[in-house]
Structure 1
């Protein structure tokens, strides 16, 4: 599988949105009720993705020109890591996180934080992230995790 990772462009916004929404509905829906999924989806419509492209470093992973995953770096915080459910467990997320960690180190950060969903906690733990605390946004539980970066 020849996955390519690159900086997202404005033209990628709709495909990024579709990938995130599919992942929320298929993967995250196992851990969160429909009303939370619907509320989170509102944050990832194409217009919101276009705004993220101006505020964060957004990466996409593509396979044969199809976007199959995305992740972004907002200062020292990893945000919006989503891998299409059809490609989960194949190393795509790990490749994206390796690129995100390189971006963070190149920017001079020594610590990387991630607000993890319940669904992704095990994934981040497998990459060396440690749980710091839980946060609740109404009924939505987020696990704040961190990892020291090694140079």
Structure 2
């Protein structure tokens, strides 16, 4: 399925927040405790999303005029890739990542890094990312992965 991938605007903050929270609660809850999900979710209220937009290149995936996915690039670090649970497995995450990769290549970034959730580790591995190490932030475990960019 083809999605419209575009830069996020301040008007998208509420919808992005809803996508992130829904994804955390449905998809990530399989790999993390309710406490970790709640803690991470606090970082994605609409006001926080607006602040992040000022610091990162943030993109959204739109389907039938609704934001159903998001991804950000913070210099050479992939951040906050979330796909609404009802749209997972349809190629949207790959489309969002392709857009981030284009932006990174345009910025002459040679290597992308991602602090992956346990939930998304296999997704990034399918895109060619390789695991470097695990990191722990309290009870939250993330998997640091890298992808070398050619061109």
TM interval, short-chain normalised: over 0.9
Residue aligning to 1:5 = 5
In structure 1, C-alpha distance between the alignment counterparts of 2:128 and 2:21, rounded to whole Å: 27
The TM-score normalised by the length of structure 1 is 0.99
Q: Is the partner of 1:89 in helix, strand or coil?
A: coil
Q: SS of the residue aligned with 2:24?
A: helix
> Whole-Å Cα distance in 2 between the matches of residues 113 and 88 of structure 1?
22
CA drift of 1:2 comes to: 3.5
Task: Specify the alignment match of 1:50 in structure 2.
Answer: 50
Cα shift readout 1:120-146 (whole Å, capped 9, x = no counterpart): 000000000000000001111000000
Matched, 1:34 2:31: no
Residue equivalent to 2:17: 17
Aligned partner of 1:146 in structure 2 is 146
Contact 2:59 2:70 in 1 (8 A): yes
Shift of 1:147: 0.3
Q: Runs of 5+ in structure 1 lacking a partner?
A: none
Q: TM-score, normalised by structure 2?
A: 0.99
Runs of 4+ with deviation above 4 angstroms = none
Gapped runs of 5+ residues in structure 2?
Answer: none
The alpha carbon displacement at 1:93 in A equals: 0.1
The whole-number CA distance in structure 1 between the counterparts of 2:150 and 2:121 is 21
Kept in 1: contact 2:2–2:92 (CA 8 A): no
How big is the alpha-carbon RMSD for the aligned residues of Structure 1 and Structure 2? 0.6
Secondary structure of the corresponding residue to residue 134 of structure 2: strand
Q: Pairwise mapping of residues 2-151 of structure 1 onto structure 2 (< 5 A)?
A: 2-151=2-151
State the Cα deviation string for residues 57-113 of structure 1 (Å, max 9, x = none).
000000011011000000000000000010000000000000000000101101000
- The whole-number CA distance in structure 2 between the counterparts of 1:24 and 1:38 is 9
